[in-house]
């Protein structure tokens, strides 16, 4: 007899053995990550990046049975897989790293005590491997799109249009950026970058300094003015970073340059700072300011990720993997771009570990199958329902 008061099971709940199947793939995933890490791929070295793209293409083809499209943009390779219409969910990652060719000599790939190390393992070659192993767990990939790019670490200059266009085709975006201590990225600040050029007038520092317009002195004024635009209460940071001026000890400098990094929770704050920076005025008579740059990545706000995070939390519990944590962070990713395109986005689904861009970069091996099973469950739910988070 049917109990009408019993909870109705979700029609697309993950199969009970999904985590077990992912766990059985752990050794293979470790080997595949090692293969990718050993193909070094610093963003600026296009030849190296192209070699890594070939390795990613081979990995994806082996695990999904489909070859990718090679998308050339700005002389760089990017890879895309579309299964069926590829219009339900986008899985997004990048295979470029910040590590120079030769880093393997001092940071070799290794697994010791359950920790994987090697340049780029955490950010984010493990995430790419997780994508394809998650897809290998599923019987039906219709509606899935995968985009792997080669210039995320330097701002996605050539891949941005590809990311945004692909995001607009789908109902949800899942970003495989790595996760510090396991927390998913439910919000990211927007990122703006600026170059402030100060033009002064050169003069001999000993004979007639009064005839010059000292760009270094003007720089000091502008550093203070720029820093004052921050609003910590609103979560907005405005940080003068790199500064340079002058040519010789005995010359009044006629030019200075200040680089500025801005992070903001809302687009309105990005716009406020943008307007304020462009309205800066010189403090010294005769000095001139030139401001270039602007908002680069829009914020990923919590309302964009809320539905997907709730779905991921439920699926993780159903898989027997416990509760998930979400965190808002200041760093940007391509998840900012998918959210800015209006697509619900959940970020930080990649490797669990730490030390991105640092000597202690590492991945916790035991977490690989957990995140892979969760990703597979998310993809299955989002492609077999209406393609939208609840």
pLDDT class of 389 with cuts at 50, 70, 90: low
Asked if 96 is an active-site residue, the reply is yes
Residue 2: inside a domain? no
Does pLDDT of 17 surpass 90? no
What is the 8-class DSSP label of residue 124?
A: I
Q: Are 89 and 379 in contact (CB under 8 A)?
A: yes
Of 297, 326, 345, the one marking the end of a domain is: 297
CA 90 to chain centre: 14
From the candidates 96, 151, 334, 347, give the one annotated as an active-site residue: 96
Which sign, positive or negative, has the C-alpha torsion 272, 278, 282, 285?
Answer: negative
Using the structure block, give the residue that is written with the tokens 């990094």: 261
Number of domains in the chain: 2
Q: Are 122 and 354 in contact (CB under 8 A)?
A: yes
| Mean pLDDT on 205-212 | 97
Does pLDDT of 165 surpass 80? yes
Main-chain phi, psi angles of 117, to 5 degrees: -130, 160
Does pLDDT of 6 surpass 50? no
Helix (H) or strand (E) holding 20: helix 18-23
One domain, residues 28 and 127: yes
pLDDT class of 7 with cuts at 50, 70, 90: very low
pLDDT class of 68 with cuts at 50, 70, 90: very high
Region at 241 (left for phi over 0; alpha for psi -120 to 50; beta for the rest): alpha
| Mean pLDDT on 325-332 | 93
Q: What's the confidence (pLDDT) of residue 181?
A: 87
State the Cα–Cα distance between residues 301 and 265, nearest whole angstrom: 7
| Mean pLDDT on 174-183 | 94
DSSP symbols for 328-386 = EES---HHHHHHHTT--EEB--S-EEE-TTSTT-EEETTHHHHHHHHHHHHHHHHHHSS
% of the chain exceeding 70 in pLDDT: 95
Q: What is the CATH number of the domain that holds 264?
A: 3.30.70.360
pLDDT class of 297 with cuts at 50, 70, 90: very high
State the Cα–Cα distance between residues 284 and 304, nearest whole angstrom: 45
Q: What's the confidence (pLDDT) of residue 386?
A: 55
Residue 390: inside a domain? no
Residue 389: inside a domain? no
Q: What is the CATH number of the domain that holds 370?
A: 3.40.630.10
State which residues form the domain around 238.
190-297
Q: Are 144 and 390 in contact (CB under 8 A)?
A: no
Does pLDDT of 4 surpass 90? no
Q: Nearest-CA neighbor of 273 among 308, 217, 234?
A: 234
Does pLDDT of 70 surpass 50? yes
One domain, residues 168 and 94: yes
Does pLDDT of 387 surpass 50? no
Does pLDDT of 14 surpass 70? no
What mean pLDDT, rounded, does the chain reach? 94
pLDDT class of 359 with cuts at 50, 70, 90: very high
Does pLDDT of 343 surpass 70? yes
Q: What's the confidence (pLDDT) of residue 248?
A: 97
One domain, residues 39 and 122: yes
State the Cα–Cα distance between residues 149 and 159, nearest whole angstrom: 6
Does pLDDT of 390 surpass 90? no
| Mean pLDDT on 147-168 | 97
State the Cα–Cα distance between residues 41 and 305, nearest whole angstrom: 30
Q: What's the confidence (pLDDT) of residue 385?
A: 73
Beta bridge partner(s), residue 148: 79, 93
Of 276, 297, 318, the one marking the end of a domain is: 297
One domain, residues 247 and 341: no
Residue 24: inside a domain? yes
Does pLDDT of 53 surpass 60? yes
Q: Nearest-CA neighbor of 195 among 280, 298, 284?
A: 280
For the chain, the straight-line distance linking the first and the last C-alpha, in angstroms and rounded, comes to: 30
Residue 40: inside a domain? yes
Beta bridge partner(s), residue 10: none
Does pLDDT of 174 surpass 80? yes
The lowest-confidence range among 28-32, 167-171, 178-182, 212-216 is 178-182
Does pLDDT of 214 surpass 50? yes
One domain, residues 365 and 232: no
One domain, residues 183 and 267: no
From the candidates 32, 123, 152, 166, give the one annotated as an active-site residue: 152
State the Cα–Cα distance between residues 359 and 157, nearest whole angstrom: 27
One domain, residues 183 and 263: no
Q: What's the confidence (pLDDT) of residue 388?
A: 53
């Amino acid at each position: 007899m049917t109990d009408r008061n019993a909870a109705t099971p979700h029609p697309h709940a993950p199969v009970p053995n999904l985590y077990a199947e992912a766990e059985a793939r752990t050794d293979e995933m470790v080997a595949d990550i090692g293969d990718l890490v050993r193909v070094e791929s610093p963003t600026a070295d296009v030849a190296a990046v192209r070699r890594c793209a070939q390795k990613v293409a081979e990995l994806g083809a082996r695990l999904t049975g489909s070859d990718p499209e090679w998308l050339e943009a700005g002389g760089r390779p990017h890879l895309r897989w579309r299964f069926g219409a590829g219009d339900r969910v986008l899985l997004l990652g990048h295979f470029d790293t910040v590590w120079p060719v030769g880093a393997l000599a001092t940071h070799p790939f290794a697994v010791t005590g359950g920790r994987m190390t090697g340049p780029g393992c955490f950010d984010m070659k493990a995430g790419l491997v997780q994508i394809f192993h998650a897809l290998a767990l599923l019987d039906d990939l219709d509606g899935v799109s995968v985009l792997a790019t080669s210039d995320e670490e330097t701002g996605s200059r050539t891949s941005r249009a590809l990311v945004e266009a692909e995001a607009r085709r789908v109902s949800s975006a899942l970003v495989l950026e790595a996760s510090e201590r396991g927390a998913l990225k439910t919000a990211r600040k927007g990122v703006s970058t600026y170059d402030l050029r100060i033009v002064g007038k050169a003069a001999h520092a000993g004979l007639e300094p009064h005839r010059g317009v000292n760009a270094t002195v003007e720089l000091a004024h502008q550093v203070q003015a720029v820093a004052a635009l921050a609003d910590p209460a609103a979560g907005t940071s405005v940080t003068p970073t790199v500064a340079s001026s002058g040519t010789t000890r005995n010359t009044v400098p006629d030019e200075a340059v200040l680089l500025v990094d801005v992070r903001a929770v809302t687009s309105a704050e990005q716009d406020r700072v943008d307007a304020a920076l462009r309205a800066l005025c010189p403090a010294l008579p005769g000095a001139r300011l030139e401001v270039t740059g602007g908002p680069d990545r829009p914020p990923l706000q919590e309302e964009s990720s809320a539905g997907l995070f709730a779905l991921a939390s439920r699926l993780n519990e159903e898989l027997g993997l416990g509760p998930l944590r979400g965190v808002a962070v200041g760093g940007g990713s391509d998840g900012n771009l998918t959210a800015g395109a209006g697509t619900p986005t959940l970020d930080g689904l990649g490797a669990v570990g730490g030390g991105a861009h640092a000597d202690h970069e590492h991945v916790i091996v035991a977490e690989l199958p957990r995140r892979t099973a969760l990703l597979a469950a998310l993809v299955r739910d989002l492609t077999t329902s209406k393609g939208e988070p609840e």
